[in-house]
């Protein structure tokens, strides 16, 4: 008799102890009364009547979830492997428990399919150069889809875009060809500007013969500063005409 009495007292003590639940500041408890939703409680001390009430604890902290590498075929038919990281948290404990089973797994699966879907609509160049825009697009889609689960997707970051070695070499060749093209364009533009400046300078010098003579003297001065022993320089036509007139006895005044 004493054994049964001791067992009953022990069971009663266990039931009394199980009534008390302590929730931390970042935790909430979804309370069910005979299987029906009653309320959300917490944080602090929560009393739950055994066999009549049940409690589901929910963590409200930000969750960091790695999205495993996904095989993606870009819009220009390039096969790449992409992985990402998603930051999200529960904002409505009631929805996260009632509307979805295991909200973490559901969000993970949705993130994988969304990553493949969004990136498949873009070229490889856009994947490599427009990550901020792609991150924003994926985050917006996930946040809208998980709203009914009481989940808020705060941020999405694409971590790596891995491509084949052959594609890396092709991209390097393309970049080198683009640099060569730009160099040729810049060189051609420089030649064009130089030709235009020469035409303008010739026009200005032709307006006054004295300007041509002054330029000629400046050129001779520059040649004289050279260390060469033999200097060959052209004679101006007007000077040669003057010498010819003197030899012929004509008046040059």
pLDDT tens-digit series, residues 25-49: 999 999 999 999 999 998 999 999 8
- The confidence score (pLDDT) of residue 252 equals 47
Predicted local confidence at residue 11, as pLDDT: 76
Q: Angle of helix 209-224 relative to helix 165-206, nearest 10 degrees? A: 120
* pTM beyond 0.85: no
**Among 46-55, 66-75, 155-164, 212-221, where is mean pLDDT lowest?**
212-221
Better-predicted residue by pLDDT, 252 or 73 = 73
pLDDT band at 98, cuts 50/70/90?
very high
The span from the CA of 109 to the CA of 100, in Å, is: 13
The least confident of 83-87, 95-99, 173-177 is 173-177
Q: How much is the pLDDT for 108?
A: 95
Residue 22 has pLDDT above 50, yes or no: yes
Residue 77 CA: distances (Å) to CA of 63, 115, 120, 131, 178: 34, 16, 9, 19, 21
Predicted pLDDT at 190: 85
Opening angle at CA 139, ends 133 and 142, nearest 5? 145
Residue 59 has pLDDT above 60, yes or no: yes
The 10s digit of each residue's pLDDT in 169-219 is 666 677 778 778 888 888 888 888 888 887 777 776 666 666 666 666 666
Q: Is the pLDDT of residue 58 over 90?
A: yes
Label residue 79 by pLDDT band (50, 70, 90).
confident
Rounded-to-integer distance, Cα 131 and Cα 154, Å: 16
Structure tokens at 68: 């495993």
């Amino acid at each position: 008799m004493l054994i049964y009495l001791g067992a009953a007292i022990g069971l009663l003590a266990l039931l009394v102890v199980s009534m008390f639940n302590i929730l931390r500041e970042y935790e909430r408890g979804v309370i069910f009364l005979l299987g029906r939703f009653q309320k959300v409680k917490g944080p602090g001390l929560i009393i739950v009547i055994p066999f009549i009430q049940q409690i589901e604890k929910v963590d409200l902290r930000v969750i960091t979830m790695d999205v495993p590498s996904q095989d993606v075929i870009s819009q220009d038919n390039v096969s790449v492997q992409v992985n990402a990281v998603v930051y999200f948290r529960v904002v409505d404990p009631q929805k996260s428990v009632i509307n979805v089973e295991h909200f973490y797994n559901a969000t993970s699966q949705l993130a994988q399919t969304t990553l493949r879907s969004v990136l498949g609509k873009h070229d490889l160049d856009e994947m490599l150069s427009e990550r901020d825009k792609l991150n924003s697009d994926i985050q917006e889609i996930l946040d809208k889809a998980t709203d009914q689960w009481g989940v808020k997707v705060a941020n999405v970051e694409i971590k790596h875009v891995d491509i084949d070695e052959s594609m890396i070499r092709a991209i390097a060749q393309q970049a080198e060809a683009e640099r060569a093209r730009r160099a040729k364009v810049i060189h051609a533009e420089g030649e064009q500007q130089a030709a235009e400046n020469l035409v303008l300078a010739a026009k200005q010098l032709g307006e006054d013969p004295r300007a041509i003579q002054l330029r000629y003297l400046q050129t001779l001065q520059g040649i004289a500063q050279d260390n060469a022993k033999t200097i060959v320089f052209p004679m101006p036509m007007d000077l040669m005409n003057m010498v010819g007139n003197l030899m012929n006895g004509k008046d040059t005044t």
